[in-house]
Structure 1
């Protein structure tokens, strides 16, 4: 996969992950959470890492931040950032990177915030710890950050506690804390999971706005492909610790090739698609003993014999789009998209054509 990525555009790469493998010691044996993933994050872009719970998305994020659990083992791989391999540096060096250069937004703002500390103190504490500021300067910067993320009446709310904020407002505070030290990379780990749809949309709009204003590079982690439709430049689909398909956002949504990507897209509800939503049958594999061949084979209605025997390589669809599925092999039988997904893609293509015709 490393050779594939080298063919992409020469835009500046600021974070590079190569063949990352992470396991966890457990009473049942070694859990193979991440099994050799490779990707690049380029300056000013947003990549999305998408997959079900347990696919290895959050483990990947935590490895970049250096906050893996004590029972974690980095078996192999390199995470390159500013000349450092983040899998090998000590805590002293990480202290200069974590929060200052790479910020993290957690998915649950209530557990990310200290319930017995005022919001203002939690933001200023980050500034005082990492920047050469007086308390007054830190307060001024904290109020400015609160206003930036859309907290109304910041002077009054500075002295309030997390329980006095709604879920959406708490998430805005978490974003403010993540941006306090002006990082160049922002990792968003399921930042909208606990929020209702309308608040979710506002938080996504805020992240897009802040990305543009601050020229941020973003890694967006989610289980919901619908969330990243209008925010990601490139999408990586993860299953059982591996990247099974990746490409430009439009390629993943309009020309998906891996059956797991089909299943994720077809399970997304919308107002137009006729018929029942497609469910992903079965359960993810036991990662203590990952299955031989394609890990998705047991849940894949399109699986062939080879899927249970040999792991598929990455097949190229375009210079930027690759899928690890034997269905792409020239010897494989021709398959059709699930009807519900085919309807959705045809509708999106028709809407795009109509829009292009209107703006001529």
Structure 2
């Protein structure tokens, strides 16, 4: 761990939504810590509760959301008890967020420069010139060429990748301590995606930021995250360091996610892996392990009782009955075993 100082603690977070179909149990007892200067990735399929968790931290949940229970501790304050007025004091200045689609995050009729300086001027009352100088410095820092000229341009005059760089500049304008990235590269092509990931990594390192990175793609965070939390059906089912998750995964859902990733070494003789079935209906959460219906290794107890978090190492935990001392010995899929062996060989060659 880079730093043992906890900057954020999420404890037993439970969030539901009122809908016409009934109450949706979106986040069910989530626990994690964020340490100063680290990047924590939260991964899982769409609907697993990743974005709801981070939107709760930011205080931007929809009106039909219910904060059923839990704590979000930041600097000894419980954010779950914050009013909108309290949130306005820290949102953007201490905790900031980057969203998936840069175009929906930017005002199409407001010049880029004004969008970057707006929070600075409103919250800190800095002069127009001082705010402009900082904005141009930020634009240069995130890789915008001819920043002085582009300061007065509109979002439509920028490419998708450049718009996302502007969104990052806005998020960093007030020097926050925590940066939440909610699938910030999904709307971008692969080449630009790699550039944005590298930029976020550099910004995190240079500014000693604590980053929460949300994605459905484990491959995206391989070189970005220090630790990974795997979410499924509103729960964290496994978490550990990046190496532990990639080289020694324990939960069948993590196996499935890793095995489903595209691989440069896959040839036409290899069997392509897909996760069977679909996530459960969270209006009626499963009684046992939520992944049981899609898990070919599921036992009877998986359908009857939720597994506890078993300790694999001091930094690695997984919620699967397969780690119970009396459980049968089950090996991960062959396709994943081969891939991990190749990754270890490559790592050894480096």
C-alpha displacement of 1:10: 7.8
Alpha-carbon distance between aligned partners in 2 of 1:151 and 1:295, rounded to the nearest angstrom: 45
C-alpha displacement of 1:131: 1.4
1:165-220 CA distances to partner (integer Å, 9 max, x unpaired)? 11110000000000000001000000100111111110011011111110000000
C-alpha displacement of 1:276: 3.2
Alpha-carbon distance between aligned partners in 2 of 1:77 and 1:277, rounded to the nearest angstrom: 40
C-alpha displacement of 1:137: 1.2
2:304 to 300, 309, 315: 309
What secondary structure is seen at the aligned counterpart in 1 of 2:205?
Answer: helix
Alpha-carbon distance between aligned partners in 2 of 1:197 and 1:24, rounded to the nearest angstrom: 34
Aligned residues: 348
Counterpart of 1:5? none
1:29 to 14, 22, 27: 22
Contact 1:102 1:187 (8 Å CA) reproduced: yes
Counterpart of 2:167? 174
What secondary structure is seen at the aligned counterpart in 2 of 1:199?
Answer: helix
Alpha-carbon distance between aligned partners in 1 of 2:319 and 2:189, rounded to the nearest angstrom: 34
Counterpart of 2:105? 112
C-alpha displacement of 1:348: 1.1
The unaligned stretches of length 5 or more in structure 2 are none
Question: Structure 1 stretches (4+) deviating beyond 3 angstroms?
Answer: none
More moved, 275-284 vs 27-36? 275-284
Alpha-carbon distance between aligned partners in 2 of 1:192 and 1:145, rounded to the nearest angstrom: 20
What secondary structure is seen at the aligned counterpart in 1 of 2:13?
Answer: strand
Query: What RMSD in Å do the two structures reach over aligned CA positions?
Result: 1.2
What secondary structure is seen at the aligned counterpart in 2 of 1:16?
Answer: strand
2:56 to 42, 63, 71: 63
1:349 corresponds to 2:306: no
Counterpart of 2:119? 126
Counterpart of 1:287? 282
Contact 1:268 1:277 (8 Å CA) reproduced: no
Alpha-carbon distance between aligned partners in 2 of 1:346 and 1:42, rounded to the nearest angstrom: 30
Alignment of 1:184-199 (within 5 A): 184-199=177-192
Counterpart of 1:183? 176
Alpha-carbon distance between aligned partners in 2 of 1:117 and 1:10, rounded to the nearest angstrom: 40
C-alpha displacement of 1:322: 0.7
Alignment of 1:182-261 (within 5 A): 182-261=175-254
Contact 1:273 1:340 (8 Å CA) reproduced: no
Counterpart of 1:358? none
What secondary structure is seen at the aligned counterpart in 2 of 1:116?
Answer: coil
Counterpart of 2:321? 326
The unaligned stretches of length 5 or more in structure 1 are 1-7, 356-360
Alpha-carbon distance between aligned partners in 2 of 1:14 and 1:325, rounded to the nearest angstrom: 29
